[in-house]
Amino acid sequence: MGPLITHLPNTISALRMVLAPVFLYATAIDIRLGLMIFIISALSDWLDGYIAKSLDLSSPLGALLDPLGDKAISWAALCVICQQYPLASIWIASSLIIIRDVIITTKRIRQYKANKFDTQFAVSTLAKIKTVLLFSAQITLMLNIVNENGLVYITGSMLLYASSLLTLISFGHYLKRPEVAERKITRE
């Protein structure tokens, strides 16, 4: 397998981090352009994981880069959504998601820097569902910004609230895990 293929999943994850400021700039110009960039970024999360799993290319760096890429684009989208929907419920749900992500990501970075790859946080099914719900909520709420529709807004906000609830539940699961238990290195 060539070096290009070997590094492809990590390159895709890193690209999501680069796309976060591009997304913010694009939404300032035209929300539709930003939405297209976000959808491509969300799909790239699935793509890098698929490539890494199908070609057995999981690595400690990938286990760090993948969630960092997810968080970068997701936080950027939450900023846009909070700006467009100045409602306490949207802000609270978004804040809960970001606070949990900051804590978990900080732990991942510390583990990576300490070369404790055997203690990487394995990603739970609940966290994966949370990510899918969050990306779906963000896409739906940005679609509503493009073309206001009460049903679309309600759907998007309910997906965001469900994602924030799963965020709290998955955070509780992460906090219960023993720090030194051996876990397989995985991509989020």
Domain extent listing, the chain: 3-176
Count CA atoms closer than 13 A to 24's CA, side-chain side: 14
Residue 9 tokens read as: 């999943």
| Average pLDDT, rounded, for the chain | 86
| 3-176 CATH fold | Four Helix Bundle (Hemerythrin (Met), subunit A) (1.20.120)
More confident residue, 124 or 33: 33
Average pLDDT over residues 28-56: 92
- Asked whether the predicted pLDDT for residue 32 surpasses 90, the reply is yes
- Asked whether the predicted pLDDT for residue 104 surpasses 80, the reply is yes
pTM for the model stands at 0.85
Q: Other CB atoms closer than 10 Å to residue 185's CB: what's the count?
A: 17
Average pLDDT over residues 124-130: 84
Least confident of 16-30, 50-64, 117-131: 117-131
Percent of the chain with pLDDT over 70: 86
- Asked whether the predicted pLDDT for residue 163 surpasses 80, the reply is yes
Rounded distance between C-alpha atoms, residue 148 and residue 138, angstroms: 14
More confident residue, 151 or 108: 151
Whether the Cβ atoms of residue 73 and residue 22 lie closer than 8 Å to each other: no
- Asked whether the predicted pLDDT for residue 72 surpasses 50, the reply is yes
